[in-house]
Amino acid sequence: MHLIRLLLLAFLAVPAQAQSPGDDFSWDRATIYEIVTDRFSNGNSDNNSAYGRGLDGRGVPYDVDSTGHFLGGDWDGVIAWLEDGWFEQLGVDVLLVSAPWEQVHGWMAGAEGAVQRYGYDGHWPLDFTEPEQAFGSREDFRRFVDGAHEAGLRVVLDVAPSAPGPLTLHDRVELGMGEGLPDTWRTWRPSGSGSGWAELASSGTDAAQAGTSPWWGADWVDVDDGSFRVDAPVTDSLPVFLVQKWGPEKTERERAALDAFFHRTGYPRTAAYHVVKWITDWVAFAGVDGYRVHIPEPLEGAWAPVVQALGAEATRHAEGFVLIGDVLRAAAPSDMLHAGPVHLMYGVETGRSTPNMNWATYDEGELGRWRRFGQFRARHASIGAGDSVELGQEPRVIGYTLTDGAETDAAVVVQGAVPGTRLRLNVSRIWPDDTALRDVMSGAISIVSFGQIAFTPSADAGGTLLLEEVE
């Protein structure tokens, strides 16, 4: 296990709450729903062409490629489904969303030159202090976080802090670094042969260009790999393009805030710790609850203290803040029954097969199964955090219990039963006689008698029964 992952697990262990049936939430049995914000739901079409993305140098639209272009998803879109109860009905505890700060405006060649690739996933930062307009305003982001908290959900940001986004042709021209570029970039399209989009995008746009002086500069970025420097303090200056972009008033505010940050923390004044300050400001602003941090493996050792500082600084702004690592990803509704935290990728519940969420084409029956499993998990702390006992093998029957003082939560899961065939089960190790039990999958109710219950698995449940006590 890599060092960064060890650090992430250490942070997870610090704020974990006690496991008891009365707890509303616990990180170590959370159901995490990951959203690529741009691909989820378009709530405001006015921000769809932010910064001129999707347009060439004349303002003429490129053909939209759904694998690499921004597609319109935004905070308003997520808020709408939050208010609709979509996540509550899936039993979700945590929303893992794209970073909200401004991404580079242009594109690079992707898929070996076959497509234009923009920073739609939030991993190509340009300015950590400004909101990504394609997702909405700073206030829109805080509305989303507030709405999630009101619904009982935590918010975790998917962050890639180790490097700036690439220097694209669009950004070079927009930021005053277009000298020497042939004007043909404004109208150019691939000829249909050779390296495609890479023919144009390779014109001085690789990652190491971030070390050039009009861009971030060599004090900020390692010219060999394009990552923010951890090893050497920057001079008492900000990157030229940021000073020009911000203007004198904001520049002076940022200088003062950075001086205060480094004086208070004692951190070395390297580029990496500037990033710590900038992205934890978003925790202070909106009250987000955690980060999932992406650090390339070759940088993990050097970045370990920076990630530790990231967690420590964020915790100053939000009590219980966590850094989370990778979790097991659920591919089927039954995966919601695994111990520990569970990770749902947006659209797994709707059978998504495209980059965009398939709101118009999902199967109601499949969605219903995900919801029944998710709500069952959410109601029972014993699923994922309790003790388990095998009650039968054919079909497989597992009982779950979790006791805290006088309270006990219990559930039984049956998998592999024959639909339509009457099934008798011994649940005496879980519930006493005369306990009324419900099968969540079919809605049927049975009473425990002489330690036994009887159910007939429903035809559409795939041989699964989810048993709980009728309150």
> What mean pLDDT is predicted for residues 339-360?
96
Distance CA 113, CA 133 (A): 27
Residue 58 lies inside a defined structural domain of this protein: yes
| Residue 61 maps to a domain | yes
Q: Are strands 396-404 and 387-392 parallel, antiparallel or unpaired?
A: antiparallel
Residue 211 has pLDDT above 60, yes or no: no
> What is the domain range of residue 78?
3-324
Higher pLDDT: 19 or 375? It is 375
In a shared domain, residues 392 and 272:
no
Look up the CATH number of the domain holding residue 191.
Answer: 3.20.20
pLDDT tens for each residue of 278-299: 999 999 999 999 999 999 999 9
Q: Rounded to whole angstroms, how far apart are CA atoms 281 and 277?
A: 6
Q: Does the structure show a pLDDT above 80 at 373?
A: yes
Domain annotation covers residue 331: no
Domain boundary among 324, 339, 365: 324
391 domain-assigned? yes
User: What pLDDT was estimated at residue 212?
Assistant: 60
pTM confidence score? 0.93
- 402 and 298 in a single domain? The answer is no
> Does residue 251 form part of some domain?
yes
The predicted pLDDT at position 13 comes to 41
Shared domain check, 242 and 162:
yes
Alpha carbon distance, N-terminus to C-terminus of the chain: 44
**Domain end marker among 324, 346, 362:** 324
Rg value, the chain, Cα: 26
Residue 332, both tokens: 């089927």
Residue 337 lies in a domain: no
Q: By mean pLDDT, which of 17-26, 39-48, 53-62 is the weakest?
A: 17-26
Domain count, the chain: 2
Res 12: pLDDT: 47
The lowest-confidence range among 9-18, 137-146, 293-302, 332-341 is 9-18
Res 19 pLDDT > 50: no
67/193 Cα distance (integer angstroms): 20
In this structure, is residue 363 part of a structural domain? no
pLDDT tens, residue by residue, 26-42: 898 999 999 999 999 99
Q: Which one is predicted more confidently, 341 or 7?
A: 341
Mean pLDDT of all residues belonging to the chain: 90
Task: Give per-residue pLDDT as tens, 148-185.
Answer: 999 999 999 999 999 999 988 889 888 888 777 778 88
pLDDT tens digit string along 256-284? 999 999 999 999 999 999 999 999 999 99
Closest CA to 386 of 18, 19, 15: 19
State how far the Cα of 113 lies from the Cα of 432, in Å rounded to an integer.
65
Alpha carbon 390 to chain centroid distance?
35
Q: Is residue 340 part of a domain?
A: no
pLDDT-above-90 percentage for the chain: 75
Question: What CATH number has the domain bearing residue 402?
Answer: 2.60.40.1180
Q: Look at residue 186 in the predicted model and tell me its pLDDT.
A: 86
Please give the pLDDT value at position 466. 97
pLDDT digits (tens, 9 = 90+) for 440-461: 999 999 999 999 999 999 888 8
